């Protein structure tokens, strides 16, 4: 099968499109013929070696987590899927979605939303799961809450705006000027161009601030959080980790860190929101798998509005 492989950490040029052996499945896995994937910042952070303490130095590696495709084989312990089913989800902890086929744990998959293309479905898991778990599980979002999404035009942020609105919140989106109309179209009640206005200087206090792009520190945001407000970051830097531990044992405002937890239950929940028309995938560009290096370079530029999808032919 065709796949994009890395044999060392480095720039986008280390991504090599080549032939590799098709994976075999374990009893609790399904073999998915992948029709589409997408790019998340974690993909190129792994590629650059920024997470090598976690990912190690064993090569070759096939990167990529988000996927949508068709089940072609099921393991003996699999009960929810059969050959021919259209699915979407996460390739699992080891990645492997930048390929024509992947062996995927049943627990990481759900039925593909029936009103989405494969490219749209593949753009959902990483960003939407992160946003959902940040707002619902860490932020304990309630109807009527004031929620601010920093980076509202990006992959996590665009889903954050929509999920917060679906859960009844009043949403402020912060983004660059060229994404204002996009964020408004996602349902944001107010949109702030960060190049013209600093939201931390404002007079509004928020119940939840989701810093989807990890650009503003908890200390900067405390003034515009309610007394019991929650700040949530997507970047596991030492400063955020320390603040998360300290505020967890102190009364008042909290700093928290979100890690995506791929699971079928939340994917099914998102499927329901998507099929009800409450969430859509925003795709900036679609690249073929053979041009993944260009897709990574574009993602690193931070210019994309929404997600970058990867079409996988075959």
Q: Mean pLDDT across the stretch 161-169?
A: 98
Report the C-alpha gap between 259 and 132 in whole angstroms.
11
Same domain, 60 and 102: yes
pLDDT, residue 96, reads: 98
Domain extent at residue 205 = 126-257
SS3 of the chain: the string is: CEEEEECCCCCHHHCEEEECCCCCCCCCEEEEEEEEEEECHHHHHHHHCCCHHHHCCCCCECCCCEEEEEEEEECCCCCCCCCCCEEEEECCCCCCCCECEEEEEHHHEEECCCCCCHHHHHCCHHHHHHHHHHHHHHCCCCCCCEEEEECCCCHHHHHHHHHHHHCCCEEEEEECHHHHHHHHHCCCCEEEECCCCCHHHCCCCEEEEEECCCCCCHHHHHHHEEEEEEEEECCCCHHHHHHHHHHHCCCCCEEEECCCCCCHHHHHHHHHHHHCCCCCCCEEEEEEHHHHHHHHHHHHCCCCCCEEEEECCC
Residue with tokens 């679906």: 166
- In this prediction, residues 156-184 reach a mean pLDDT of 97
Q: What pLDDT was estimated at residue 313?
A: 87
What does the pLDDT read at residue 106?
98
Q: What pLDDT score does 235 carry?
A: 85
pLDDT at 301 over 80: yes
78 token code pair: 């699999």
**233 shares a domain with 133:** yes
**What does the pLDDT read at residue 238?**
84
253 and 137 in a common domain: yes
Residue 231 has pLDDT above 80, yes or no: yes
Q: Judge whether 168 lies within some domain.
A: yes
For residues 192 and 185, what is the distance between their CA atoms, to the nearest angstrom? 14
Does residue 72 form part of some domain? Answer: yes
Shared-domain flag, residues 229 and 142: yes
Check: CB of residue 268 under 8 Å from CB of residue 145. no
Q: Select from 241, 232, 176, 182 the least CA-distant residue to 206.
A: 232
Q: What is the pLDDT of residues 95-127, one digit of tens each?
A: 999 999 999 999 999 999 999 999 999 999 999
Question: What confidence tens digit (pLDDT) does each residue in 200-220 have?
Answer: 999 999 999 999 998 999 999
State residue 244's pLDDT score.
Answer: 94
Residue 71 token pair: 């089940």
- Is 266 a domain residue? no
pLDDT greater than 80 at residue 270: yes
Task: State the total domains in the chain.
Answer: 2
Is it the case that residue 38 has pLDDT exceeding 80? yes
Mean pLDDT value of segment 162-182: 97
211 and 95 in a common domain: no
| pLDDT score at 82 | 98
Judgement on whether residues 102 and 12 belong to the same structural domain of the protein = yes
**For position 53, what pLDDT does the model report?**
86
**3-class secondary structure, 286:** strand
The mean of the pLDDT values for the chain is 96
CATH code for the domain of 297: 3.90.180.10
Whether residue 70 is found in the same domain as residue 148: no
Query: 285 and 189, same structural domain?
Result: no
- Residue 160's pLDDT is 98
Query: What pLDDT sits at residue 66?
Result: 98
Pair 46, 96 in one domain:
yes
Percent of the chain predicted with pLDDT > 70: 100
| Same domain, yes or no: 137 and 236 | yes
Distance, CA of 186 to CA of 165 (rounded, Å): 9
Tens-digit pLDDT profile for residues 47-72: 999 989 889 999 999 999 999 999 99
Same domain, 31 and 137: no
Q: What percent of the chain has pLDDT over 90?
A: 94
User: Residue 314 above 80 pLDDT?
Assistant: no
Position 268 in a domain? no
The CATH number for 140's domain is 3.40.50.720
Q: Does residue 247 belong to any structural domain of this protein? A: yes
Q: Say what the pTM is.
A: 0.96
User: In terms of domains, do 181 and 291 share one?
Assistant: no
**For residues 156 and 162, what is the distance between their CA atoms, to the nearest angstrom?**
10
């Amino acid at each position: 099968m065709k796949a994009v492989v890395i044999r060392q950490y480095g720039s986008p040029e280390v991504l090599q499109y080549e032939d590799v052996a098709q994976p075999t499945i374990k009893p609790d896995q399904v073999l998915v013929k992948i029709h589409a994937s997408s790019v998340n910042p974690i993909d190129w952070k792994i590629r650059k070696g920024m997470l090598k303490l976690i990912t190690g130095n064993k090569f070759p590696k096939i990167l990529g987590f988000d996927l949508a495709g068709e089940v072609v084989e099921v393991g003996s312990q699999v009960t929810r899927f059969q050959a021919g089913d259209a699915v979407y989800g996460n390739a699992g902890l080891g990645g492997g979605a930048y390929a024509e086929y992947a062996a995927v744990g049943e627990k990481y998959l759900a039925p593909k939303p029936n009103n989405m293309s494969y490219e749209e479905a593949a753009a959902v898991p990483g960003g939407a799961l992160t946003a959902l778990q940040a707002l619902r599980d860490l932020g304990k979002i309630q109807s009527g809450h004031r929620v601010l999404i920093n980076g509202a035009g990006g992959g996590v942020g665009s889903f954050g705006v929509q999920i917060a609105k679906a859960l009844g919140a009043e949403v402020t989106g912060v983004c660059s000027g060229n994404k204002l109309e996009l964020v408004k179209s996602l349902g944001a009640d107010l949109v702030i161009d960060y190049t013209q206005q600093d939201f931390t200087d404002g007079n509004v206090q928020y119940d939840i601030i989701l810093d989807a792009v990890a650009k503003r520190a908890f200390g900067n945001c405390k003034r515009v959080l309610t007394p019991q407000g929650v700040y949530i970051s997507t970047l596991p830097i030492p400063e955020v980790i320390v603040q998360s531990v300290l505020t967890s044992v102190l009364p008042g405002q909290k700093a928290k860190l979100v890690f995506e937890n791929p699971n079928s239950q939340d994917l099914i929940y998102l499927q329901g929101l998507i099929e009800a028309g409450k969430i859509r995938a925003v795709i900036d560009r679609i690249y073929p798998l053979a041009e993944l290096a260009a897709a990574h370079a574009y993602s690193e530029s931070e210019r994309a509005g929404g997600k970058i999808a990867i079409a996988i032919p075959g």
